[in-house]
Amino acid sequence: MNRQKLAQEIIDAGRFLYGRGWSPATSSNYSARLSATEALLTVSGKHKGELGPDDVLATDMDGNSLEPGKKPSAETLLHTQLYRWKSEIGAVLHTHSVNATVLSRLTLADSLVFADYELQKAFSGISTHESQVLVPIFDNDQDIARLATQVQPWLDEHPDCVGYLIRGHGLYTWGPRMSDALRQVEAFEFLFECELKTLSITQR
């Protein structure tokens, strides 16, 4: 793929997601598949609403930087894990919205289930509201390699997975193109907000 084009897609995604309040300050990380063996990711510690061409770097599929002097996000392995899992994944977005963070902390179970929402059809592979979207929740862990070993068995057992949450942390979702991943972030955020509003009403 064209590096310049993919870098601009990452920059544009950052501005959009920051503007919606889903990637505040230096939180979050985004990536795009550069080739079968390389990915393009956001550099660690950069404000996602102010990304520029120098704020992305290429890594191999083990998460190692291919550009001297540039440090990839600590969570790079969670991105490259997805690229290794499915060759058709072309972009991965990790966001830190209030709704995703709060809902993952309120939910005591190890997953969320969305059912009978019309907007479920925004997810890849979903064609009807008469379905269920299962979203796993993994406990946060500063050891990203260890966290990846928790995520992989789920992915292997649920090939239709469209995203997952890290408790008290944020959302991971993906798609063949950056536009697909962005669409899924929007769909998730709508559903997270619906669930939180439903909880606030039913628990009064």
Give 10-residue mean pLDDT values along the chain (204 residues).
92 96 94 96 92 95 92 91 97 97 93 92 81 92 95 96 96 97 97 92 75
**pLDDT of the residue at 9:** 97
**pLDDT (0 to 100) of residue 1:** 66
Q: What separation, in Å, do the N-terminal and C-terminal C-alpha atoms of the chain show?
A: 52
* Per-residue tokens: 118: 């019309």
Q: What is the pLDDT of residue 108?
A: 85
Strands 163-166 and 56-60: unpaired
Q: So what's the pLDDT on residue 101?
A: 96
> What integer pLDDT is reported at residue 127 of this predicted model?
76
Task: Please state the separation of Cα 94 from the chain's center in Å.
Answer: 3
- Give the per-residue pLDDT at 166: 97
Report which of 113, 116, 114 is spatially closest to residue 130, judged by C-alpha positions.
116
Exposed / middle / buried, residue 204 (Cβ in 10 Å: 0-12, 13-18, 19+): exposed
pTM above 0.85, yes or no: yes
CA angle (148, 151, 154) in 5-degree steps? 155
SS3 of 163, please?
Answer: strand
Task: For residue range 140-181, list pLDDT tens digits in order.
Answer: 999 999 999 999 999 999 999 999 999 999 999 999 999 999
Q: DSSP character for 118?
A: G
**How high is the pLDDT of residue 124?**
83
What is the structure's pLDDT at 204? Answer: 63
Contact, 57 vs 63, CB < 8 A?
A: no
